[in-house]
Structures are given as C-alpha cells and as structure tokens.
Amino acid sequence: MKYSRLFLPTLKEVPAEAEVISHKLLLRAGMIRKLASGLYSYLPLGLKSLRKVEKIIREEMDRAGAQEVLLPIVQPSELWRESGRWEHYGKELLRFEDRHGRASCLGPTHEEVITDIVRKEVRSYRDLPLNLYQIQTKFRDEIRPRFGLMRGREFIMKDAYSFDVDDEALEKTYQVMYKAYCRIFERCGLDFRPVEADTGSMGGHASHEFMVMSNTGEDQIACCTSCNYAANVELAPVIQSPHHQNAESVNHQITKVSTPGKRSVKEVTEFLGISADHLVKTLIMIADDRPVAALIRGDHELNNIKLKRFLGVETLNFADEATVRSVTGAPVGFSGPAGLSKGLKVVADQDISTLKNFVTGANEPDAHFTGVNWNRDIPVPEFADIRVITEGDPCPNCKGKIELKRGIEVGHIFKLGTKYSASMGATFLDDTGEKQPAVMGCYGIGVGRTVAAAIEQNHDENGIIFPISIAPFEVIISLVNINDNLMSKAAEDIYNGLLAQGVEVLLDDREERPGVKFKDADLLGIPLRIVVGKRLKEKDEIEIRSRGTGNIISVKKNEAVKKAVEILR
C-alpha cells in the first residue's frame, strides 16, 4: 500500500474526548473515529488490526473443532421470553418494535438463537459434540460507555457455543476451549492471565476470564504472590484470618456516645480515635424486595455477589433512605445491629465474629455504641464470607498472600450446563433412547477490546508498538525524499521485493518532511521501519529500525528485503 493513497488521518494533537491511552492512540493513529457515545467506526488501519485478530481467532477456533456460523443481530422477543431473559436481562438489552409491532431486541449475546437452531436440528447423541461460533457485532446499551473500544455499546465479539452429551464431555470441550484461548492471546502478543470468574447474567456454574494485565483495566484480580492462583475479586473466597482482633481480653461496657453528624466510617473512626477494623458497619440492603442487614468490618467492603449467592436472591441493592429509617429507626449513617426491626434478616461477615469491644451505630440519630460485644449486647447473627478480598489476605489455595492487580477482560468462557437447553427444549436422544438436554458451554472474545488491550500494553510516548501478529502493516518504508530519483527507485524496489515475499508493507511516498514521516511511523506502531535516505547515496545502504527496541541496523540496499524478512519471520 502506498501511504499517499491510504485513508489514514493521523492526529498530531490528543483529542479531548479520550482518557485512556489506547483510546487516544486509536484516534491519533487514524484507526477509529467516534460516531456517537459508545459507537465507533473502524478506518482502514483499525480494520486491518481487527481483521488480524479475527484471523487468529478463526484459525484457533477451527483448529479446536468449532465451526463458524453467522447469526442475526435482530432477535424476536419470543426466544428471550423462553429463556426468561426478556424479563431479567435489564436495560442493556435494547428492545424495540418493528413496523408490525413485534417486540424485538438487538442481540447482546446469542445463546437463545443458537439454542433455537440446535433444538430444531439436533436429534441424536450422534450429532454431538457440536461447537458453533461467529464473529458478529453485538449491542449492549451500556449505562456508561467509556474508554473508546474498551466499553462501547456496539462492539465486535467472537462467541462460541458448545453442545455436549453430558458434564464430562463438556469438561473436555471446556478444556479444549481454554487452551485455544490461551493460544489466541499468546499469538496476539498479550501478557494475559486466565482467572476464575463469576458467571454473572449468563448463568451456569464454572467460568474463567482471560485478563490482559493493565492498570487501566476495569476489573480487579486477586492474584497469589506465591502460587498461580488468580480470581476476579468478585469471586475470590476469603479464608478467615486467625483471630487478629483478640488481643483484648477484657470486655468493655457498652456505651452510647454522641457522634453528631458523623456518618461515614472515616468520620466516626476519626471522631472516636479508633481504627476502622474496630468498627462494624451495618449495611441495609434490599434483596429481591426484602430488606436485609449486612454487617461488615469498617475497613472491609461488602461483596454483593457473595451475599446474593448466600441469600439465594436475584437482586441486591442498597436500601433507600426511607427503608433505612423504617428498619433502623435512624437516618443513614447510624445503623447498628442492636435494636433492628424484628424479623430482619442479619448476615455478618465471618471476619467480625472474633471482634471484641467494637463500635456500631446506635440506631438513633447522631449516636454510636462503643464497647459492643457479641451475645451480651447483640444477638449472634449468621456468619458467612460476604466481603471482598483485599490485598494481604491469605491465598485460598496456598499459604501465600493475595495481591490485587488490574486487568482488561478480553475473553470469558463459561460452563452453562442445561440452563438454556432445558428451558428452550434443546434435547437429544442418548444411546439408551432417553431424551436429554444438551449440556452447553459458551465462549466469548471481545475482538475490538483485544486490539485496545494490546495497545494499552504495547506503547510508548511516541505511539503504538504493535505486536507483529496484529500490526496493520509489518513494514513501513520511509522514503525520505520522494523527489530524489535514486531514493524513490530504491524504495520502490524494496517495496516490490517485500510484496513479492508476502510481506504487508506500507510505502510512505507522501510529499512530507522526514520528521513527519518518522513521527507517523512511530505513532502507527508498525514493527519495522525501513528508511531510504541519505545513507543510500553515501554507502548504498538503508536502515532497518525495530519499533519495539529502537535498534537500527544498516544493510546494503540489495540485502534489505532479505534482511527484513529474516527479522520478521
């Protein structure tokens, strides 16, 4: 490709709308442009990278025995009613009516459609296992799209769905997919980590996320410093720490103290001169329309998912002011476990079971209790692991310590089980003639997000440093002076030579000063840059520079193609 003919609008200045580095660089490098919030167009260069990721995915999915299909984006509400998700999916599911008044939606995912196909076509265990995938645009009406391609409303996703005869067969498929995912992200040149994850709205029972390590990631991962344990913080179980609070042998008197206007943990602990791990906060929650009190140590965070699972409820949210008042008799900020309304379910984090002489709200305005102890002052509630794991907690898997890292979720694989096949009737006859629901798995990759994640991980102050496997071009030839016949001829020769070798090469034949060409080459992140310039005239040499390392080698003009190919392959 000749640069002079390429639609590649690069930006010298950073667009005001971009916050994270991948977003800035995608815009500056002319790869994407925004149409509206969460909606992006891919320009030629961006599309090239996207296609490269797609190609890697296709190769690895095909290798793993999956077959490509293409499913509709617009889906009828009937299917979603069958799976129960028409009611449960939430506002992210964009619903609308067509001209005939038929309720429809834009597919945020395709379990329903694929299950519908399989239930219509698959009859026998002889047809299984079956694994179908597509690379398709999804739409999720996100509350807050952000960070460019990282969290758009419309985005490109590879999703695969597997159907097996039983759990054991699913386990095998799952392992094959797990390995395929590792290969995909390795080939994309990413520093990633598979982590144990929550299954979220997909349902099902086992799941791994593939996280690209990056401090701009939206997800927090609990990693063990001594073993290879890694899990999403949403999921990571907390092993109860051995009685770190039990130094105090004396039980103090329970005392009501005035704490005017002191609501937050920070305010109360500072006012009373105590540390946050001596305070028990009482969170009034609404669990499926019923209020519940959750007790958590002041320096800990409630884990919604854990509490939801413990209570066996679908939704869990903070209660509104009015509910808090009616349940506790006090405004928000002064709730405590003593004297809550009768019959209120109380769940306490296991870590506060060993606390003594702690502080709680007094359930009246501007007052807290100090010196609170279990039994004597308040009834012993149900204890459970309902908090978020934190830095320094023990590893659930070994004796190591947990540290928290950030990651970008680029892939997610689930064992779905029979959630969809059972509700939608995707069954087959097994070898004894029994009707069985297919056991499903589903496997997603955010394709655009993978490109963004690669940029987050591979850049410097001058621009992108693409891994060769997903770079839009492998080589850029910077022709320093297009009006110099010797240089132009040499650049053209090298260009044709590389093309003949199947190398994806961009010839910068623009009428620009050298500095502009170098800056753009760096910004675009093309792995190799060949400079045809003054050395050609002096020594018949050209330079080959690696974008990643900055290393430059000079070679004779006639060696250029051979040498470049050697470095690339």
Partner RNA sequence: CGGGACGUGGCUCAGUCUGGUAGAGCACAGCGUUCGGGACGCUGGGGCCGGAGGUUCAAAUCCUCUCGUCCCGACCA
Quick note: the x/- pattern for RNA over 359-398, rule CB under 7 A, is: --x--------------------------x----------
Cα separation, 216 vs 192, whole angstroms: 14
The span of 167-175, 204-212, 315-323, 415-423 binding RNA (CB under 7 A) equals 315-323
Output the six-digit token pair for 33: 């442009």
> Distances in Å between the alpha carbon of 363 and those of 336, 369, 541?
6, 9, 82
Output the six-digit token pair for 391: 């830095």
Residue 17 in the binding site for RNA (CB under 7 A)? yes
Output the six-digit token pair for 462: 């001058």
Shortest approach of RNA to residue 519 CB, angstroms?
4
Identified binder of RNA from the candidate list 56, 132, 224, 319, rule CB under 7 A: 319
The count of residues interacting with RNA (CB under 7 A) is 66
Output the six-digit token pair for 179: 């390995």
Residue 483 in the binding site for RNA (CB under 7 A)? yes
Shortest approach of RNA to residue 24 CB, angstroms?
10
Residue 439 in the binding site for RNA (CB under 7 A)? no
For 500-515, give one letter per residue: b (16+ CB within 10 A) or e. eeebbbbbbbbebeee
What is the sign, positive or negative, of the torsion defined by CA atoms of 530, 532, 533, 534? Answer: positive
Shortest approach of RNA to residue 429 CB, angstroms?
42
Shortest approach of RNA to residue 265 CB, angstroms?
3
Residue 495 in the binding site for RNA (CB under 7 A)? no
Cα separation, 352 vs 297, whole angstroms: 6
Q: Residue 232: helix, strand or coil by DSSP?
A: strand
Q: How far is CA 269 from the centre of its chain?
A: 35
What is the sign, positive or negative, of the torsion defined by CA atoms of 426, 429, 435, 437? Answer: negative
Quick note: the x/- pattern for RNA over 406-435, rule CB under 7 A, is: ------------------------------
The span of 35-43, 249-257, 394-402, 432-440 binding RNA (CB under 7 A) equals 35-43
Nearer to RNA, 462 or 488 (CB): 462
Q: How far is CA 161 from the centre of its chain?
A: 19
Cα separation, 85 vs 78, whole angstroms: 10
Could you check whether the bond before residue 72 is cis, i.e. omega within 30 degrees of 0?
Answer: no
Residue 11 in the binding site for RNA (CB under 7 A)? yes
DSSP class per residue in 371-412: EE-BTTTB---EEE--B---TTPBPSSSS-BEEEEEEEEEEE
The span of 79-87, 154-162, 312-320, 426-434 binding RNA (CB under 7 A) equals 312-320
Nearer to RNA, 11 or 182 (CB): 11
Identified binder of RNA from the candidate list 73, 117, 239, 283, rule CB under 7 A: 283
Residue 268 in the binding site for RNA (CB under 7 A)? yes
Residue 516 in the binding site for RNA (CB under 7 A)? yes
Residue 107 in the binding site for RNA (CB under 7 A)? no
Nearer to RNA, 110 or 281 (CB): 281
Cβ distance 367 to 259 under 8 Å?
yes
Output the six-digit token pair for 348: 């306490």
Shortest approach of RNA to residue 462 CB, angstroms?
5
The structure tokens 């991980």 sit at: 457
Shortest approach of RNA to residue 81 CB, angstroms?
24
Residue 322 in the binding site for RNA (CB under 7 A)? no
Q: Residue 216: helix, strand or coil by DSSP?
A: coil
Nearer to RNA, 58 or 519 (CB): 519
Rounded to 10°, the helix 447-457/21-28 angle is 100
Residue 304 in the binding site for RNA (CB under 7 A)? yes
Residue 16 in the binding site for RNA (CB under 7 A)? yes
Residue 358 in the binding site for RNA (CB under 7 A)? no
Cα separation, 217 vs 408, whole angstroms: 4
Nearer to RNA, 7 or 100 (CB): 7
Nearer to RNA, 307 or 470 (CB): 307
Nearer to RNA, 169 or 276 (CB): 276
Residue 332 identity (one-letter amino acid): V
Footprint on this chain of RNA (rule: CB under 7 A): 10-17, 19, 28, 34, 36-38, 143-147, 263-266, 268, 279, 281-285, 298, 301-304, 317-319, 324, 332-335, 361, 388, 462, 480-481, 483, 513-516, 518-523, 531, 533-536, 543, 545
